[in-house]
Structure formats: C-alpha cells, structure tokens
Amino acid sequence: MRKINLPLILDSAFTAVCAFLIFFTAIRYYTKNVYIALGFAICAFLLFGSLSFLYISRKQDKKLLISRDEKQKKLLSLHLSLSSDEYIAELFTESLKTEDETPQIKGGKIYAGDDLYFTVFKMQPISEDDVACAVKFKSDKNKIILCNRVSAEAAALAENFLIEIKQIDYIYKLLKDKKLLPEKYVYEGAKKIGAWKKIKARFSRKICAPLFWSGMALLALSYFTFFPVYYIISGGIMLTLSVVALALN
C-alpha cells in the first residue's frame, strides 16, 4: 500500500484555497453575482490545486532521486574508506574488466591495458603526498588515481605529472553501471531523523502563514471598504506570494 504524502496534499490544498479566495472576491466584485463568482472560484480551486499537485510532486520526485544518489555516494565513500586493500583491488578489477581483457593486481595496483590504477580511499581528500607516491612509481602506463575526493593542491600536482584522478562521482557511476554497488555497506549507521523534526522542517516556511492571513484579511475588508479594488489586488498578491513561497520551498 502506497504511503499517503500528507505534505504534498496540504501544499496543494493551500494553493487551491488561495486561488478560491482570490477568484471569488475579484469576480464577485465585478459581477455582483455570488453564484457566478462561486462557480469560477470552484473551477479555480480545482485547476490550481491540480496544477500545484503536479508541480510539487514532480519536484519532490526529482529531489528524492538526487538525495538518494547523494546518500549512496556518501555511504560508498565511507564503505571504501573502511574496506581492506584486497577487497578494493578485487572490486575495481571486476569493474574495469572488459570482454577482451581482465585487469591484473600487482602490489596493490591494478593494471588494465595501457592504464595503471592506484586506489587511495580515505575520509579526507587525498593530499600531495598521496599523489607523490604515484609520481615516484616507475611505469610507462597512464597513471590513474581512484579516490573519494582530492584537495586542490593535490589535483594541481597530478595535472603537472599527467596523472588522472577519478573521484566518487565517477566511481559511483562506474560501479552502478556494472551493477557492483555493495549490497551491504560496512557502516550504515546514519542517524534517523525523528518524525517531529521532519514535520518541523516541512512547515518552517515562516513567510507563508503571515502572507496568507494578511491576504485573507485584506480580501475580507474589501467587502466593507469604499476602495475594494485596492484590497482585492493587495490581498490577491499576498496570497499568490504565499503560494509561490510554499512551492519554492
């Protein structure tokens, strides 16, 4: 059974209510007919509620995919940093294998055709000392360092000696394409976010509520003032801005 996305429903309902109030107040003022205004307001309620639902759900799905990939990259970085050299060598030997050639492991390094791979996985970005180890190693092959991250100084040194550096974005894609991502990571103890924090984060858009109530109050005042157009326009703008603030966050 699919879980109900309550925040999405509430956000869409909020947009629909704002649209209803704006259209009902504006059209009632110009037509002086409550039923016509109510008809248009209901249509606006359904239309803008549906559009908001489609827009926000699509945005949520996109963010979810991105956040999942980023989380997997962080877990993979930690996994490789805590894994043994033998495991890492075997993993990348398998990932670099082709139909024509199987890479060889010699002295903890991976030989694959004309390329020589150094695996340097640690929690911190690799330093100039790590690159220097690859520089000092005598070989005519193209040198490539596989790592989680690299410091700016180390990247500059590697570039000077024509050493290529592949970081976690490349490594994650490589292992994912070869279906070699670990089924179980060495450590998956990511702290879970409590339900209260999730709700609090979801409804922390402080600008939405003041704009909504101010806009609704202005629309209500338009029924009693001698200058209703000003209140209708101002209230409509505030309600629209509250919806935009909600959608963007």
Answer yes or no: is pLDDT of 190 > 50.
no
Instruction: Name beta bridge partners: 126.
Output: 150
How many domains does the structure of the chain reveal? 2
pLDDT at 198: 55
pLDDT at 54: 83
Burial pattern 152-184, b for ≥16 Cβ within 10 A else e, equals eebbebbeeeebebebbeebbebbeeeeebbee
CATH of the domain at 127: 3.40.1350.10
Q: Are residues 103 and 65 in the same domain?
A: no
Q: Are residues 97 and 50 in the same domain?
A: no
Q: What would the pLDDT profile of 48-71 be if each residue is shown by its tens digit?
A: 888 888 887 787 767 666 567 788
Show which of 160, 177, 194 is a domain's final residue. Answer: 177
Q: Are residues 134 and 105 in the same domain?
A: yes
Model confidence at 203, pLDDT cuts 50, 70, 90, reads very low
Residue range(s) defining the domain that contains residue 223: 6-80+204-248
The pTM of the whole model exceeds 0.85: no
Q: Which amino acid, one-letter code, is at 65? A: L
Task: Please list the alpha-helical segments (H only) found in 104-227.
Answer: 128-136, 152-160, 168-177, 195-202, 208-221
Model confidence at 200, pLDDT cuts 50, 70, 90, reads very low
Answer yes or no: is pLDDT of 188 > 90.
no
Distance of CA 125 to the CA centre of its chain: 23
Answer yes or no: is pLDDT of 103 > 80.
yes
